[in-house]
Amino acid sequence: MTLGREALRAALSTHAGTPAGILIGEGVGVVGLCAGLGGNQLRTPLSEAGSVGVALGLALAGRAPVVELIDLAGVNRAAEALAEAADLARRSGGAFRAPIVVVATLPDGGVIPTLPEGVSLAVAGVPEDAAGLLTAALAGGGPVVLLLAEAALDERGEGPVEPLGVPMVRRAGAGSTVLAEGAGVSLALAVATDAEVIDLRGCRDPARLGALFGRTGRVVLFGHGIEPLVAALGESFWRLETRPVFVPVTAGADALRAALTDSFSP
């Protein structure tokens, strides 16, 4: 099985070697996920918004830029530029679009930022999604923020990859449902219970999520911040038999196990 980081770097290298592909960032080619890679590259000043702005210009010229941000906080600093990229298709009547992919690592204690409207979110929590979601994001045709959990980079695994915006059942179960994301996916899979584990993968579609967790009626949210998940679930809470439980990934597998045992005991 392939290490997630190796698969991602291979995909980035292949993309940078194509005529349209280009890697952009403050330390691209020198530090981070793109360190030591060849192909088309462009070093930018220390400004995440500037990097995304440069990527937008290149996208309008027919290129397919991938922007690597040095840290997760850079996504918030680039929010305005991402909003401009997302709004381009609407303002141009569909004549222009911005196929930009922004990549950043998601620390175990990191909080997934709320993205501007029109910017897609993808979160890789397992190794097979590291390169797979990059490929899907590049084919998406619009601005995408791809966040990579440490487990997705530093563990090995292979398997099918669903398109962007599609949650995936990583383990079947009947007792309760764990809606996990990022670092929470591998931790949830390590907990030996009869709970099903659903990898959100960045999905924020209430209809998709409601249809999934309605199968057991009992839900634990195990992710990087509760607000975006609660907002995504929307009106779907009526499907639940009990109140949803939130466990931050920083609390670890033991806290998740306790929540599954204590919260849903007869």
**pLDDT at residue 145, rounded to an integer:** 98
Segments of the chain assigned to CATH 3.40.50.970: 4-154
Cα–Cα distance list, 123 to 78, 157, 203 (Å): 18, 16, 8
Both tokens of 127, joined, read: 């190794």
Lowest mean pLDDT among 8-12, 98-102, 185-189, 241-245: 241-245
Measuring CA to CA, which residue among 152, 150, 188, 153 is closest to residue 169?
A: 188
Q: Which CATH number is associated with domain 168-262?
A: 3.40.50.920
**Radius of gyration (C-alpha) of the chain in whole angstroms:** 19
**pLDDT at residue 189, rounded to an integer:** 94
**pLDDT at residue 247, rounded to an integer:** 93
Segments of the chain assigned to CATH 3.40.50.920: 168-262
Distance CA 228, CA 232 (A): 6
pLDDT tens track for 17-39: 999 999 999 999 899 999 999 99
Where is pLDDT greater, at 170 or 242? Answer: 170
- Examine the pLDDT at 266 and tell me if it is beyond 70: no
What does the mean pLDDT of the chain come to?
90
pLDDT band at 234 (very low <50, low <70, confident <90, very high): low
Cα–Cα distance list, 156 to 7, 69, 146, 150 (Å): 10, 24, 19, 12
Question: Per DSSP, which regions of the chain are E strands?
Answer: 21-25, 41-43, 64-68, 101-106, 120-124, 144-149, 168-171, 177-180, 196-199, 219-223, 245-248
Query: Residue range 79-87: average pLDDT?
Result: 94
Query: Residue range 47-66: average pLDDT?
Result: 95
Contact 120, 97 (CB under 8 A): no
pLDDT band at 235 (very low <50, low <70, confident <90, very high): low
End-to-end CA distance of the chain: 41
The second-level CATH assignment, the architecture, of 4-154 is 3-Layer(aba) Sandwich (3.40)
pLDDT band at 48 (very low <50, low <70, confident <90, very high): very high
Q: What type of residue sits at position 206? A: P
Measuring CA to CA, which residue among 52, 19, 12 is closest to residue 33?
A: 12
Distance CA 209, CA 211 (A): 5
pTM for this entry: 0.94
Measuring CA to CA, which residue among 68, 60, 70, 57 is closest to residue 24?
A: 68
